[in-house]
Amino acid sequence: MNWKVSVVIPCYNEATNLRVLYDALIDVLAPFGWHYELIFVDDGSRDGTLTELERLHNLDPSAHFLSFSRNFGHQPALKAGLDAATGDCVISMDADMQHPPALIPQLVQKWQEGYDVVYTRRLEDKRLPLRKRLTSRFFYRVMNNLSDMEIEEGTADFRLLDRTVVNVLQQLPERDLFMRGLVKWVGFKQFCIDYEPAERFSGVSKYSFGKMFVFALNGITSFSVKPLRLAMLIGFALSLVGFGYGVFAFASFFFTDWNASGWTSVIMGVLFIGGLQLVMLGIIGEYIGKLFMQAKQRPSYIVQKTSLSHPASEAPRKIVAEAVERQQSMTRRMRSGKNNPQPVDE
């Protein structure tokens, strides 16, 4: 078999899981005779993750690693692995053993059948706390109701991507990454495989409620302007209510004995409308903030150390270089206009 499989694994404080995961991956990949590479991405871990990755690379040169200069997040780590991968297909998975390596042959089989994207959907895990299951269900429902992209409940970052899809994703200049949405957005021929998650080998989940909220907000605002439209509709509805109440109060004052009075109702109305205004400003600010961060053209990640001979940050560097070239070209045109002023008709 001449094709090559790349496996990308983002890691954050996963030192105790890495050797177990490596052994499981080798047990799955080696018997098939595939050419393969393992790319571990250390997302600024504070335990011995980098040391363990260096040990694995010395043991097996096909086990590569990238180490970030700081913690950039799971999605940039995933993007870095895609940028560095050289395989004909790329499989991404987590390092906590909840994404079963034994499922990889099924992903590859569907890819060989002609599917460009083979993603997985986690079945409901009764072992998880009720709060975790409810928040996950709420996340997907809100996401699908407010976003233009529909993502099935339980979809994770355990998937296989054809090289064509990876090349397309590398060209997208997104800074606030939401890979689940991007993979859906690019299209191509996709297939879903359900799986039962295994128990975490060690450690705890790195996604707190706050991180999940930010993750959901990023996913919604990256693929839809529905929150802005919703804010506009709420403002319009409140305006109608206020206008109607004003007409009612005006008519009551002149044509009946009833007078609208009471500071309580006034204060409640002011607080309610003021709170809604702040929420709407926050929604608008979120979109403006995304534009601001995108306009600065900073790379999504910075690689401090790697075992790879080719740079993984090539795509972000290209984006930055293009932005610099545009700025320099504009400066040259401005200077050329100053040095060669056009004649003015008198």
Where along the chain do its domains lie?
4-206, 226-291
| Residue keyed to tokens 């429902």 | 141
Angstrom distances, CA of residue 112 to CA of 27, 58, 104, 106: 21, 32, 12, 10
CATH for 4-206 (3.10.310.30, 1.10.540.10, 3.40.50.300, 3.90.550.10):
3.90.550.10
Measure the CA–CA gap between 70 and 45, rounded to whole angstroms.
Answer: 8
pLDDT tens column, 272-292: 677 677 677 777 777 777 676
Lowest-confidence region among 100-104, 228-232, 271-275, 323-327: 323-327
pLDDT tens column, 120-141: 888 766 666 666 667 667 777 7
Within 10 A of 284 (CB to CB), how many other CB atoms are there?
Answer: 13
Within 10 A of 311 (CB to CB), how many other CB atoms are there?
Answer: 14
| Residue keyed to tokens 């929420």 | 279
What is the pTM for the complete model shown?
Answer: 0.66
Encoding tokens for residue 74? 């799971």
Measure the CA–CA gap between 193 and 187, rounded to whole angstroms.
Answer: 17
